[in-house]
Amino acid sequence: MPLEILVKDNTKIKKFKTQLEETGNFVKPIYKELGYTIIRTNLNSSELDFMQNLFPNEIIRKYKDDIKNENAVTNKQNDTARDILSFTKIYFQDRIHAERLNEILEHVPLKYSIYSPVLLLNNSNKRSFNHETWSGLLTEDYYNKLLKFLSSNSGKANTTTTETLRVIAINRPIIEHCNILRRPYNIDLLYSMDHPTDPSLLPKETLWCEVKQNGIWQTWNPFHTMFSRGNIKEKKRIIDTFVDIENNDVIDLYCGIGYFSFSYLSRNCRNLFGFELNPWSVEGFNRGLKKNKNFGKSLDKKNDMRPEGIHIYNETNEMSDQRLTEFKLKHQQNNSNVLRIRHINMGLLPSSRQGYPVALKLIANHNNWEECPKITLHVHENANSKEISQGYIQEKVLNELKFFSDTKIPDMKYQFELIHLEKIKTYAPDIWHVCLDIDIIKL
Ligand SMILES: C[S@@+](CC[C@H](N)C(=O)[O-])C[C@H]1O[C@@H](n2cnc3c(N)ncnc32)[C@H](O)[C@@H]1O
């Protein structure tokens, strides 16, 4: 389904329209609804992240091609706009007075993600089901019907678990500096279809969300692991750009639930070594592997039926040197001790600096340079626009890598070349999540 933008500030309309026209993404007509001006695009839901980067402060939602005019979403027969606002209008229009309805519509949550089985609402004081205005209106019937309405397959006989919503939760921003494991401590459970009167009875370890991006499933427990949709472009860039992943080895120093690891696996890397501190993320990684049918890798029957070539360690990446040594010893007989480390991914924010010396040690001790003469590091960092445009972040990362190389492995000499900087997404006002691709060759 295509996407449309809800604009509150009328001074922005012309600019947005021109912006969309320039890229051939504008769709007529522009229309009004509840104080918003709505601009349609021909970009579809798989391009939501792109849209959110382009219009970071606006509300973006899906629409169906057949909505003819602004009355469509208020028409009881027409449930084409599958959002909470439209549902709420339909549900309450014959149940409460128009005035009261208008009041609650001001407090309907507008921003949310659907991560089946969870409807995850963005945190907002004003647009929240916790707002006092909703008092007495939020019944089991309303929630159940809302969840059914938002489930994309609702009403169909063969609804799959991946399409059915059963839980409503509110996401709150994470406190970055004290949250190394990226655990969403502030998620609030609002409603559970299975425990309608007391959602806290829902056993948290049983709730696993899933979403498909770039044809790859990701699975995570929203109470214990963060999920960020905004990395979708970066995952695709890995798949599209780095053809020589195929049949070479990759190390993911912060593998989480497999954000980037799965892109390497779908590109057929030979061995993937992943390190992750959070056991819940490792569990999500393993569930994701199953859901993606182990990326076509056969099961290693000797090794607990794990897929061949996939080595995930629930421990600090500082153990990676030892783990690769053990791996080589174990595989000595069949000559796969020769590692071809083609990519090392370092996806920790606000900085992956902790991983610089770790990666350099692996490069010095484990790569076979004859078989793999170049290693690409993917270094994730946060930086502001000025640091990026003036080349400061680029220089800083290169200098630090050289510093660690000179001090930790002085006998080895390498050339570090920055080949690309990718601006992935805005992280906070004027703070970009970037990825620096750095090629390393041995001198
Ligand atoms: C920004 S998240 C990366 C997300 C990841 N790419 C994914 O798929 O979920 C960083 C991850 O690194 C993990 N982490 C942080 N420090 C680590 C370390 N020293 N060794 C291994 N994992 C670490 C955290 O638990 C977190 O899951």
Q: Which of 371, 417, 412, 369 is nearest to 394 (CA)?
A: 417
Q: Is 278 in the pocket of ligand 1 (CB under 6 A)?
A: yes
Kindly indicate the confidence band of residue 128, based on its pLDDT and cuts at 50, 70 and 90. very high
* Distance from residue 277's CA to the centre of ligand 1 (Å): 7
Range of weakest confidence among 24-38, 127-141, 424-438: 24-38
What number does the ligand 1 atom closest to the CA of 317 have? 20
In this model, does residue 182 exceed pLDDT 70? no
In this model, does residue 301 exceed pLDDT 50? yes
In this model, does residue 369 exceed pLDDT 60? yes
**pLDDT at residue 204, rounded to an integer:** 87
In this model, does residue 70 exceed pLDDT 60? no
- DSSP code at position 378: E
Q: Is 180 in the pocket of ligand 1 (CB under 6 A)?
A: yes
Q: Which of 254, 267, 165, 166 is nearest to 215 (CA)?
A: 267
Residue in 224, 276, 380 to alter for ligand 1 test, most ligand atoms within 8 A of Cβ? 276
User: What mean pLDDT comes out for the span 405-416?
Assistant: 93
Higher pLDDT, 405 or 83: 405
Higher pLDDT, 161 or 350: 350
Kindly indicate the confidence band of residue 152, based on its pLDDT and cuts at 50, 70 and 90. low
User: What mean pLDDT comes out for the span 211-226?
Assistant: 91
Q: Which residues contact 42 (CB under 8 A, 6 or more apart)?
A: 2, 24, 25, 26, 27
Range of weakest confidence among 326-335, 356-365, 390-399, 403-412: 326-335
**pLDDT at residue 79, rounded to an integer:** 34
Q: Is 208 in the pocket of ligand 1 (CB under 6 A)?
A: no
What number does the ligand 1 atom closest to the CA of 345 have? 6
* Distance from residue 216's CA to the centre of ligand 1 (Å): 19
Q: Is 165 in the pocket of ligand 1 (CB under 6 A)?
A: no
218's tokens? 């990701």
* Distance from residue 235's CA to the centre of ligand 1 (Å): 16
For the entire predicted model, the pTM comes to 0.78
